[in-house]
């Protein structure tokens, strides 16, 4: 296993035939077996704020990791000529190179396999061993202590984030594992590797989204190789809510149409509920957007609503959660 490195960067060129790539004053990763390239895992192709060597273990079961590559001898163009990537054992991992994610590996089963960079004659230019490890545990962000259930409003959803833990350290790669639900819960967004080149997110947690329209108790179980984690979730009817509040009772807007937001919080007794939603009654001249950011387990429950207007004046908007719970928002639109 490799320790965490801090890697400053110097971008020197990028060519369409991939002969020249990004480099760094301190290359990110480990030198390959052929001595041609440094290979490693970073969270950005251009900037290397964090870097692990290629020998750091990856999570199994579909985790995707992007690999940074830096020529060992930047002045020698022959050393940088390669056009594709492959794996020595597809049962362990597969490799790909192309737009938009650059050089990536996708894991399958625990084991070891070589990542090989090849030239236009299919000869190996560089290779390094990739390790896929069975996790010791799956760690869910914000999981309540003592087996307590996560309260979620019926008709809403929550994102759940998790990481795979190896022998004393986190396994890299995102999107690995599967999720199984029980009770009224449904998987709305499965675990996925979601990132955009050049930001690689190798160190980010994997997330998935669950929700339910019916009241009841359910579970979401994350499986990864022989490890698993169970998230108990209780779906709460809106009639069970005892109170709600807005982050502010007044909101100032510019008549230019630029939006501003308020947050909605809902409670059952003193317990905050994930997925708070309401029906907004707004006067003519005021626009409100449906929330696009779903609650995440581990963060403070709350839903953002965005308002905008091009009509100057004072307005009152009403957030109706149930027959017994409604909230007023005073909106002032100025220059």
pLDDT for 9 equals: 30
Percent of the chain scoring above 70 in pLDDT: 84
Asked whether residue 10 carries a pLDDT value surpassing 80, the answer given is no
Asked whether residue 250 carries a pLDDT value surpassing 90, the answer given is yes
Are residues 64 and 85 both part of a single domain? yes
User: Please, which residues have CB within 8 angstroms of residue 92's CB and are 6 or more apart in sequence?
Assistant: 107, 108, 109, 110, 111, 112, 113, 130, 132
Are residues 41 and 146 both part of a single domain? no
Are residues 194 and 305 both part of a single domain? no
In the sheet where 313-322 sits, what is the strand order? 250-254, 325-334, 313-322, 279-281
Are residues 220 and 248 both part of a single domain? no
Distance CA 80, CA 75 (A): 9
Q: Between 100 and 9, where is the model more confident?
A: 100
Where does residue 291 rank: exposed (0-12), middle (13-18), buried (19+ CB within 10 A)?
A: buried
Are residues 19 and 123 both part of a single domain? yes
pLDDT for 317 equals: 97
Asked whether residue 23 carries a pLDDT value surpassing 50, the answer given is no
Q: What is the mean pLDDT of the chain?
A: 86
Q: State which of 132, 150, 168 marks the end of a domain.
A: 132
Are residues 207 and 219 both part of a single domain? yes
Are residues 244 and 230 both part of a single domain? no
3-state secondary structure (DSSP) of residue 80: helix
**Whether 233 contacts 220, CB under 8 Å:** yes
**Whether 42 contacts 28, CB under 8 Å:** yes
Distance CA 160, CA 265 (A): 19
pLDDT for 1 equals: 36
**Tokens matching residue 220:** 């979401």
pLDDT for 129 equals: 97
CATH number at residue 198: 2.60.40.10
Are residues 127 and 179 both part of a single domain? no
CATH number at residue 272: 2.60.40.3450
Q: 150: pLDDT confidence band, cut at 50, 70 and 90?
A: very high
Q: What phi and psi values does residue 239 have, to the nearest 5 degrees? A: -65, -20
Q: How many domains does the chain have?
A: 3
Strand partners for 113: 130
Are residues 30 and 99 both part of a single domain? yes
Distance CA 115, CA 37 (A): 12
Question: Which region among 63-72, 76-85, 239-248, 300-309 has the lowest average model confidence (pLDDT)?
Answer: 76-85
Are residues 269 and 214 both part of a single domain? no
Q: State which of 203, 237, 271 marks the end of a domain.
A: 237
User: Please, which residues have CB within 8 angstroms of residue 179's CB and are 6 or more apart in sequence?
Assistant: 187, 190, 191, 208, 210, 220, 221, 222, 223
User: Please, which residues have CB within 8 angstroms of residue 284's CB and are 6 or more apart in sequence?
Assistant: none
Distance CA 115, CA 36 (A): 14
For 94-112, what is each residue's pLDDT tens digit? Answer: 999 976 668 899 999 999 9
Q: State which of 215, 237, 259 marks the end of a domain.
A: 237
Q: Between 98 and 74, where is the model more confident?
A: 98
Q: 47: pLDDT confidence band, cut at 50, 70 and 90?
A: low
Are residues 103 and 195 both part of a single domain? no
Are residues 233 and 252 both part of a single domain? no
Which residues span the domain enclosing 156? 137-237
């Amino acid at each position: 296993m490799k320790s965490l490195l801090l890697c400053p960067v110097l971008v020197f060129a990028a060519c369409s035939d991939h002969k020249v790539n990004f480099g760094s004053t301190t290359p990110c990763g480990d030198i390959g077996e052929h001595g041609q390239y440094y290979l490693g895992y970073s969270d950005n192709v251009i900037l290397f704020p964090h870097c692990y060597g290629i020998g750091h273990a990856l999570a199994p079961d579909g985790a995707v990791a992007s690999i940074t590559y830096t020529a060992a001898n930047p002045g020698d163009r022959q050393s940088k000529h390669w056009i594709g990537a492959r794996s020595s054992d597809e049962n362990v991992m597969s490799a790909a190179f192309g737009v938009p994610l650059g050089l990536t590996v996708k894991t399958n089963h625990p084991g070891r396999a070589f990542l090989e960079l090849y030239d236009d004659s299919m000869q190996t230019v560089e290779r390094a061993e990739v390790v896929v490890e069975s996790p010791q545990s799956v760690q869910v962000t914000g999981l309540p202590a003592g087996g307590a259930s996560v309260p979620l409003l019926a008709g809403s959803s929550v994102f759940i984030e998790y990481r795979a833990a190896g022998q004393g350290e986190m396994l890299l790669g995102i999107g690995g594992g599967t999720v199984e639900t029980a009770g009224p819960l449904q998987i709305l967004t499965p675990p996925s590797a979601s990132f955009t080149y050049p930001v690689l997110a190798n160190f980010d947690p994997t997330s998935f989204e669950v929700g339910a329209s019916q009241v009841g108790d359910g579970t979401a179980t994350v499986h990864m190789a022989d490890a698993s984690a169970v998230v108990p979730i209780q779906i709460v009817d809106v009639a069970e809510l005892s109170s709600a509040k807005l982050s502010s009772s007044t909101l100032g807007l510019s008549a230019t149409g630029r939006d501003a937001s308020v947050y909605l919080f809902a409670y059952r007794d003193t317990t905050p509920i994930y997925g708070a939603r309401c029906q907004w009654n707004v006067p003519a001249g005021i626009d409100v957007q449906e929330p696009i950011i779903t609650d995440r387990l581990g963060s403070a429950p709350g839903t953002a609503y965005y308002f905008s207007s091009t009509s100057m004046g004072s307005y009152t908007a009403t957030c109706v959660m149930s027959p017994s719970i409604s909230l007023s928002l005073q909106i002032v639109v100025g220059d």
